Chains A and B, each alone.
Chain A
Amino acid sequence: MSVGGHRADPGDLVVSGGGSTAVAVDELFVHAARLGASVAVVDDWIARARVLGRGLELLDLDESVVARSAAPISSIGLAGVCLDQARDRASWLRGSLLEAAERYGATEQLVDGLWQLAWFVGAPWLGFHAPGLVAGTLLAAGGQWMGSALWRALGWGPTPLEAWLREHRGLLSDPAFVRLVRAAVDHADEAAAAAAHVPLPSWAAATLHAPESASALLAAVGLFGAAGSRVLVEGPVRVARVAPPAVEAGVPPGHPAVGTARRPDVVAPPTGVGDLADRVPAAGDGEPQIRIERYGDAGDPRWIVYIGGTVDFGLVTGSQPADMTSNLHGIADDAELDARPATGAEAGALERAAHAAMREAGVAPGDPLLAVGYSAGGIVAAKLASDPESGVVGAVNLGGPVASAPTREGVALLSIEHEEDLVPATGGAGHPSPDRVTVSRSVLEPGRAYDAVFPAHELERYRQTAELVDASEEERLASFGSLIGDVTGGGAGLRSDWVATREVSPSTGAR
């Protein structure tokens, strides 16, 4: 990737957003900030040198000494010239760096705009002129789904689709493919409308993006839900607190962890985004999806809520609320034109589970809260951050599709998205917001084969990126670190873990 006239190496953080159109590796912004600070310092020195020079000139020393004292005046003048030049150099370099970042940001916007334009034109054409292709694709997908179910039932090992995905996993992590998907999801509505030969006014085409596409899809399947289908149909959730894992024995006497050995619910405060990422629950059947930590005393509680990622990737709604049904509802919640209310659909199960767990844990409306989520949990964290009734002061998204999520003024949303990760791209191109800072990073080595289908989406890789965020001196990233300190106050916290379960009626026959 070329950033600001420079090539960002794999592993570099690329920072964008936060009210700026500039996009660049974090080091570039750090340099610009340092040079800006240098200009201010040198300006002060210049002023002091001028005062000294003028003062010596005005000193009424005797003539012979004046002749000789011209030497210090001259040297101070030379120092002033050097400082003037240094100030000009620093100022020019800073401006050049920011200009380069702005140029790169503009180029990124142009490229995104061209993708959007291509899909804006291409999606209706595809839908209108090739409805058979669209229908055929849907039928093929349905057939594939049924065939895969039969394949699994017969115990024949990986289905053809799984085998294909494994064979072409490199494509799924190709940044160009990720960009293609990011643009395509914003235009699914146009293709569907054209396929149905429904004219879509231009204002609607401009308004309908990924959330509206998800909403339309869910509204459609919701109609089948009324007929008993459990595909992508939501249901009520409940949460239960579970004991945190026991602290390992054998802590040496005097070790700071001694106190926590007896109280596994007492935790040290997170010191950075890396710590936050480390505490996000890992996905697993029966494992807690939500973790809540309380800091401060009972009279001044401050909270951190961690929400894990997708556990169940199936489309048939089951008892696991961290599933694709919840994800799609989570994205559709951001739709300005939400088609779901007509079908009586609800918010995503994971989001409702998070609210329920927070209530059970004692979070009151308006309590200061930091929301942290991975993948599907990132969607929920972004939603909590945008809720005007919540006291959320900031949110961290690790690989969730939140580009289209609304933000709330003054509530920082730090979104970490890997360049090769398809999942954040499914949120579409989104919209800029001064409150959203996006950190992207390339995490895969070109040409290397990975075992996972979506290696760039793995939580462990996001944890590594989060640690790099902590190491960055970039102003916007550093200020987020300060925010964490504000929430914890530097003291120990009390932890609770929550397992959420979706209630599925046995009559539906769903899992």
Chain B
Amino acid sequence: MDDLLLPALTGRGATLDDVDAARRHLAALRSLHAEVRATWPSLVPPPPGAWRSMASEGYAGWLDDLGMRLSGAAVALADAEAELEAAIRRTEWRLEQQARAAAAAGGSGATGGSGAAGGSGAVGGSGSAGGSG
């Protein structure tokens, strides 16, 4: 219940606008991740074939290193994508819970506005009931 009460007490909390913004970020993140995942192998030239020497062997090693950095970036972006999706789901769940709590409180004569039931109220927000949507 602390998750629901604390924002109500402090006056801070996420709104559906924030969730929408997070979704937009998720879309941009997915786009970047898809591009990085699909493109990074083509950014690394194949090991040299026409010239061979100690230096070219070292160069091939650096190309491997370059590939590892790029693939690492792709993996990190995949993680970020999954984590942001989870964060959005948690926020939505919390908004739902808080809206129910607010509705229950309203039904028993307590004040506190309609909250998320209005579609965009802040989670536990004090002044955004029936807000901007």
Q: A49-B32, A62-B13 are in contact. Are A42 and B77 (CB under 8 A)?
A: no
Q: Please indicate which of the listed interface residues B7, B72, B76 has the most CB atoms of chain A within 10 Å of its own CB.
A: B76
Residues of A within 8 A of B90 (CB): 65, 68
B contact residues, range:
35 or more
Using CB atoms, name the residue of chain A closest to B22. Answer: A59
A382 to B63, CA, bound (A): 40
List 4 additional contacts besides A86-B73, A89-B66; criterion CB under 8 Å.
A6-B52, A62-B13, A72-B87, A78-B79
Question: A354 → chain B, closest Cβ, in Å?
Answer: 36
Q: A31-B48, A48-B28 are in contact. Are A75 and B80 (CB under 8 A)?
A: yes
Ordered by A's residue number, 18 sampled pairs between the chains whose C-beta atoms are within 8 Å are: A25-B50, A28-B48, A31-B48, A41-B43, A42-B70, A45-B73, A48-B28, A56-B25, A61-B91, A62-B124, A63-B10, A68-B86, A71-B80, A72-B83, A75-B76, A75-B79, A79-B74, A85-B69
A85 to B67, CA, bound (A): 11
Question: B8 → chain A, closest Cβ, in Å?
Answer: 10
Top 7 A-B pairs, shortest CB-CB distance: A6-B51, A75-B80, A79-B76, A82-B73, A86-B69, A38-B43, A72-B84
Whether B39 is near chain A, meaning CB under 8 Å from some CB there, is yes
Whether A8 is near chain B, meaning CB under 8 Å from some CB there, is yes
Question: In the complex the two chains form, is B76's CB within 8 Å of A78's CB?
Answer: yes
Question: A49 → chain B, closest Cβ, in Å?
Answer: 7
The 8 A CB mask of B11-23 against A (1 = contact, 0 = none) is 0111100100110
Whether A308 is near chain B, meaning CB under 8 Å from some CB there, is no
Write the residues of chain B forming the contact surface with A, with a CB cutoff of 8 angstroms: 3, 6-7, 10, 12-15, 18, 21-22, 25, 28-29, 32, 35-36, 39, 43-45, 48-53, 55-56, 59, 62-63, 65-66, 69-70, 72-74, 76-77, 79-81, 83-84, 86-87, 90-91, 94, 123-124
Question: In the complex the two chains form, is B22's CB within 8 Å of A56's CB?
Answer: yes
Question: In the complex the two chains form, is B83's CB within 8 Å of A75's CB?
Answer: yes
A86 to B22, CA, bound (A): 28
Whether A55 is near chain B, meaning CB under 8 Å from some CB there, is yes
Residues of A within 8 A of B63 (CB): 93
Question: In the complex the two chains form, is A65's CB within 8 Å of B32's CB?
Answer: no
Question: In the complex the two chains form, is B77's CB within 8 Å of A75's CB?
Answer: yes
Residues of B within 8 A of A394 (CB): none
Residues of A within 8 A of B66 (CB): 38, 86, 89-90, 93
Question: In the complex the two chains form, is B52's CB within 8 Å of A62's CB?
Answer: no
Whether A52 is near chain B, meaning CB under 8 Å from some CB there, is yes
Q: Please indicate which of the listed interface residues A2, A9, A51, A86 has the most CB atoms of chain B within 10 Å of its own CB.
A: A86
Question: A133 → chain B, closest Cβ, in Å?
Answer: 43
Residues of A within 8 A of B81 (CB): 72
Q: Please indicate which of the listed interface residues A28, A55, A76, A78 has the most CB atoms of chain B within 10 Å of its own CB.
A: A76
A31 to B46, CA, bound (A): 9
Residues of A within 8 A of B52 (CB): 6-7, 9
Q: A61-B14, A82-B73, A89-B65 are in contact. Are A7 and B51 (CB under 8 A)?
A: yes
Question: B1 → chain A, closest Cβ, in Å?
Answer: 12
Question: B57 → chain A, closest Cβ, in Å?
Answer: 10
The 8 A CB mask of A23-43 against B (1 = contact, 0 = none) is 001111011001101100110
Instruction: Please report which residues of chain A, range 76-105, place their CB below 8 angstroms from some CB of chain B when the two chains form the complex.
Output: 76, 78-80, 82-83, 85-86, 89-90, 93, 96-97, 100
Whether A60 is near chain B, meaning CB under 8 Å from some CB there, is yes
The 8 A CB mask of A1-30 against B (1 = contact, 0 = none) is 011111111001000000000000111101
